[in-house]
Each structure stands twice: as structure tokens, then as C-alpha cells.
Amino acid sequence: MAVYTGNIAFSTSGEIEIRDITQDVSNIVKQSGLKDGIACVFVPGATGALTTIEYEEGLVADIKSALERLFPKGMDYKHELRWHDGNGHSHIRASMIGPSISVPFKDKRLILGTWQQIIFLELDNKDHNRDLIVQVVGE
Amino acid sequence: MAVYTGNIAFSTSGEIEIRDITQDVSNIVKQSGLKDGIACVFVPGATGALTTIEYEEGLVADIKSALERLFPKGMDYKHELRWHDGNGHSHIRASMIGPSISVPFKDKRLILGTWQQIIFLELDNKDHNRDLIVQVVGE
Amino acid sequence: MAVYTGNIAFSTSGEIEIRDITQDVSNIVKQSGLKDGIACVFVPGATGALTTIEYEEGLVADIKSALERLFPKGMDYKHELRWHDGNGHSHIRASMIGPSISVPFKDKRLILGTWQQIIFLELDNKDHNRDLIVQVVGE
């Protein structure tokens, strides 16, 4: 039984960028040398989020629309009144989707549906150098 | 310290079906032989989701209403324009709730509130043979 | 490799109370004696939830507004018709945000963004003695 820490580093340029990180997570599981366990992916930062989706152009657009509809950009955010950085909606969206996702693996392979990918959502309105953590726990 | 993989297989017939899987997860924890750890439940597939709720008829209806109100079926989903399978809303709902949940256990028992059950939500508009994964990690 | 169970106990007095529990989780990771792994925080109970946010007054108000806007208190909840405890909205909010969060740690320190805190949300309309579980798994 062991723990292996991998990371996925990349740059983003404003909202909403949705990135398929399935292959990156899969590679880290292989690098870990572990056979069975859990890969816990985590965003250090309060304006990014993680979930899974069928990664195709239509749904990528649909999830952006849903977020804009439910947590609109132009609202009267109290965060905005205090900090004036224009990203109140980014924070609330990130908190509602959540910063972590845990995916099981067996025989060194992530257990995912055929049409299911792990995605990172850049929800902030500014550029970021993101560095996601993949904590692999298993044996 | 060890990893034990269990699965929960069942058929569903269209949306929205909400299934209490607490007893199944609990049985898998017992089968694992582990005393303390984490049970990570995961849906392979992009149109199902997992969370907890007080599993009673009223709330089961309420969560369906909330999903229909926030992510309505009849909207102009881009996924629909490309694939014509009528389930754009299913995908977005699943991504927002999320495909995994981690529940701690101690002395071979899940640590849950008295009125808290683990549920699977079938959000797709078609039949499925679901096969949930329960990855048990502990000692 | 080992498992360590910590808990975070406190009282709440009605909705919506948002509590920064980062230091508590961090202390439990240190008490565990483990160097690298995952801290899985869990709410036993169906009317509380966990996520991360930049914990500042503005966003704490904004997340409350967002929850009231999306899952209003005064709606016709079926839970209310059956149980008359006035907290249908509390349950739905809790299920949508989710009862657990997993945060990786390395060299005995949680890996979080500089402006990212772990929060507990009391969503129920009544007082509670909460007892969150922190299941630490690692080596």
C-alpha cells in the first residue's frame, strides 16, 4: 500500500475553459506503479472545479450555458463590492461544482464509462497557471 | 492496509429513478474484511450521479422537481443539435451533481447520519444496466 | 500505511451558517502522524454540506444568496407536506452540494490554494450539534 503524488500543470486564459484531463490522470496512475486504488484529483484554488462529462463540443457549450443561466456574471455579488475583481460568479460556480473528484482504478486502469471524461473547468475571468494534484492511494 | 473492489449491478428504466444503495455499499464494506477506511462509490457513465439524502417519498419528488426546474428537459441543448438523443439535460444534471461520493467507515460500519442514505440517480432518458463501483480502501 | 479518524464537533443555530474548518482539518492531519495521503471530510446528516471557497464576508453572503435563489425556502416542497418541519429546501441544497470532500496532503500539510478554505454549511433551519468526520488515509 502506498501513496503517489502526481501533478498536471497547464496555463489557462480566462473563463470558461473546459479541459479534458483524463489522459493525464491515467498516465499518473500508471506512473504510480500501483495496481488498484483511488485517484483523488484536486484543484488548489477557489475558482476552478472538477467533474466528469461526455467531452464533446455540444455538452461543453451546454455546461457553459447552464452555469451562466444559474450563476450569471452581471449579478450584484457582495464579493465584487469588496474586491472589484469581477469574478464573484467564478467563485460561486466553483464552490457549487466542487474542487475534487475521486476515481477508482483497477489493474492500473481508471474505471470510467466509455463516454465519460474527467474535466477541469477554468471558471476565473483571469489567466492562471494551474497545477492540479493527483493523489493516488492504493496497492 | 488493502484495497477491495465491489460492485452494485442493477437495471434502470429511464429518468429520473432514485435508488437507495446504502445497504449495498454497507455489505461491500463488510465483505472487504477491512475495519476502518473510506468507501469510494463511483458511476462509470456520464448520465448517472451519486449523493446522499433522507430517502423518503417527499424528498425523492422534491429533488426531481429541483432538477427539472434548474436544468429543464425542453431547452435548446447543443448536445441535442448534434446527437439527437434527447438527453442533453441528463448529462448536465449528472455533471453538476457528480459521479462519485466517498463515505468513511469505522469498525466495519459506514459513518452516516440516522436519516441519511446514499443514493444513485438515473438521469438518462433510456434504459441502462448500471454497474457501480465501490472501491474500499482501508486497514 | 494507515487510517486515522478525527472529528470536528461544534454547535450551530439555524441556517445558513458557514464555518471555516480548514484549521481543524489541518490539525487532524498533523495528529494522524501520516506524511502523505488524503483527508476525507464527511458530514453525517442530510442537512449539512461541505465544499471549498475563499472565505471572506462577501462570498459567504453570495453563496447564501445563490442557494436562496436556486432552492427557495417558500416553495411547495413535498417533504413539507409530509413532515411539516419547514426544511425541504435545506435537504435539497445539501444533496446538491454534497456531504463529503477529499483533500490531499503532502509532508503533513493540506494542499490548498492560498485563498481557498474548507467550509461546512449548516443548511438546516434548526440547531444542531454537528460532529464531522475526518478520515485520514495515507502513509
Q: pLDDT per position in chain C (139 positions), as tens?
A: 799 999 999 999 999 999 999 999 999 999 999 999 999 999 999 999 999 999 999 999 999 999 999 999 989 999 999 999 999 999 999 999 999 999 999 999 999 999 999 999 999 999 999 999 999 999 9
φ and ψ at B122, to 5 degrees? -80, 110
Write the secondary structure of chain B as one string of H (helix), E (strand) and C (coil).
Answer: CEEEEEEEEEEEECCCEEEECHHHHHHHHHHHCCCCEEEEEECCCCCEEEEEECCCHHHHHHHHHHHHHHCCCCCCCHHHHHHCCCCHHHHHHHHHHCCEEEEEEECCEECCCCCCEEEEEECCCCEEEEEEEEEEEEC
**CA distance, residue C86 to nearest chain A CA (Å):** 23
**Per-residue pLDDT for B109 more than 90?**
yes
Q: pLDDT by residue (tens digit) across B17-73?
A: 999 999 999 999 999 999 999 999 999 999 999 999 999 999 999 999 999 999 999
CA distance B123 to A34: 33
Cβ of B101 within 8 Å of Cβ of C102? The answer is no
Cβ of B56 within 8 Å of Cβ of C42? The answer is no
pLDDT at C6: 98
Tell the CATH topology of A2-138.
Jelly Rolls (2.60.120)
pLDDT at C104: 98
Q: Tell me which of C41, C50, C53 to substitute to probe the interface with A (most A C-beta atoms closer than 10 Å).
A: C53
pLDDT at B25: 98
Mean pLDDT, range A112-134, rounded to an integer: 97
**Residue in C with minimal Cα distance to A94:** C53
Place of cell 422537481: B65
How much is the ipTM here? 0.97
Cβ of C88 within 8 Å of Cβ of B59? The answer is yes
C14 interfacial to chain B (CB closer than 8 Å): no
Q: Residues of C with CB below 8 A from A92's CB? A: 59, 62-63, 66
pLDDT at B70: 98
pLDDT at B26: 98
Q: What does the mean pLDDT of chain A come to?
A: 97
- Nearest by CB to B58, from C82, C99, C102: name it: C82
Neighbouring chains of B at 3+ CB pairs within 8 Å?
Answer: A, C
Mean pLDDT, range A17-30, rounded to an integer: 98
Residue A50 grid coordinates: 472538477
Domain ranges of chain C: 2-138
> How many Cβ pairs within 8 Å bridge chains A and C?
101
Q: Tell me which of B59, B70, B106, B139 to substitute to probe the interface with C (most C C-beta atoms closer than 10 Å).
A: B59
C9 interfacial to chain B (CB closer than 8 Å): no
